[in-house]
Structure 1
């Protein structure tokens, strides 16, 4: 698992994004042995001929290094990218965590977020949210640049007035997603908000047009959307 942490204009941590990826073994034992042998031969050849054929040796060194990694780790990135992974249900998850203070009373901030249809006003990756009742809604998400869409039904699973909202995709949805927002009185006034939002693509997403869910541009878009909340709820204006 790797961690990405962005900074605000003052060099302070702004939001943390966690990319979770399973270390699935997708190379057979025989394939690993063959990769190690082939990688060693290519690497040795590259070293021995580097002065005579520098470009060819460089290519052999890259190929040899890849085969050695494939054999030692048991994971083939090319195979994974092509969607031929063993246990493909272990797809990556985008998880955004952030905490910030809003210069508004806690109850006002809570009620604004509790009306889910307000979220697309400042979250650009959300095309729309339609509330069916107090606990069930329909979400539509769009990819970076408006390329690709995905929709599902969601349900609020925990609701504490003025303190906590938790939601998740409804059973049977074609994407696993969940989120929670916690509201607390800030020591200096206003409301301290803690947000966690997670998206996991469905199993078998490769080749179905949903690869944008794992694109770094989508990660950054979700992060920026969360951080727009502070400005929007305080001023009613949407930042660029």
Structure 2
């Protein structure tokens, strides 16, 4: 039985290319666990190698593989399966809505970024720090992870287009744009909205990505759609100087 196990294990070792064929595919947390587990297994195996030589050698080899996995950040098995835990999945949102308000008024409301939390539940505050820069704080489901970032407006065409992105060093990389188009009757406005969030790499990024790919993404999509209702609310009507029906 031991000989059969040993032969199978040795065959597996031969099949594994220890030279990193690609870039690092393990995040920091998984590397640490692999290194510690490998070190412990190697220690226990060498300690008992005189009592159980075959099992001791096999355990030492397995421990060495785990140490290599942790030290190099490369997992050959993950390479074969196409798994990369350093690259959390981003979310890409694209929505189109139409509101019954003039394009100039809708643009002005969105351009004043501090207005966004009025209808976007996933945003706690947006503070404008200059004509083109701002600080954003997000509400996450259960407030599990505090998220904030700085952003700058990268492109603006008055009454037609706003584009922004997070600044260098922000916890969350993100970018977005909104296009404002007259409806056929020129009374309303069609908004084409695109928002992209890119969680950071590593264990924290994996945790954030878990939120993004579930409830948080759902919140953002609902927030965008909720502007249709907010545009008929008294607050927006007063802001835009529109007549409120009694």
1-side partners of 2:161 and 2:200: how far apart? 27
The residue number in structure 2 matching 1:128 is 125
User: Structure 2: how far apart are the matches of 1:208 and 1:201?
Assistant: 8
Per-residue Cα deviation, 1:9-48 (whole angstroms, up to 9, x for no partner): xxxxxxxxxxxxxxxxxxx99369xxxxxxxxxxxxxxxx
State the TM-score, normalized to the length of structure 2.
0.60
Q: Give secondary structure in 2 for the equivalent of 1:151.
A: strand
The runs of at least 4 consecutive aligned structure 1 residues that moved more than 6 Å come to 70-73
Of 108, 116, 120, the match for 1:119: 116
Q: TM-score, normalised by structure 1?
A: 0.61
**1:129-176 CA deviation, whole Å, 9 max, x = no partner?**
110111000011121133322111100001111000000001121221
Distance 1:72 1:144 in 2: 31
**Residues 1:157 and 1:230: Cα distance change in structure 2 (over 3 Å):** same
Match in the other structure for 2:208: 210
C-alpha RMSD of the superposition: 2.8
Q: Residue 75 of structure 1 is aligned with which of 81, 87, 95? A: 81
Aligned to 1:120, the other structure's residue is in SS state helix
Tell me what 2:37 maps to. none
Number of aligned pairs?
165
Aligned to 2:174: 177
How many angstroms does 1:212 deviate by?
4.2
Between structure 1 and structure 2, the one with the greater Rg is 2
Contact 2:141 2:211 (8 Å CA) reproduced: no
> CA separation of 1:72/1:177 partners in 2, compared to 1, >3 Å: closer, same or farther?
closer
Report the Cα distance in structure 2 between the residues aligned to 1:103 and 1:138, rounded to whole angstroms: 30
Structure 1 Cα separation of the partners of residues 14 and 183 of structure 2 = 56
Which residue number in structure 2 is paired with residue 219 of structure 1? 217
* Bigger fraction of residues in helix: 2
Q: Is the counterpart of residue 159 in structure 1 residue 159 in structure 2?
A: no
CA apart distance, 1:208: 7.5
Pair 1:94-2:79 in alignment = no
Does the CA-based 8 Å contact 1:143-1:212 persist in structure 2?
no
Change (3 A) 1:31 1:206: farther
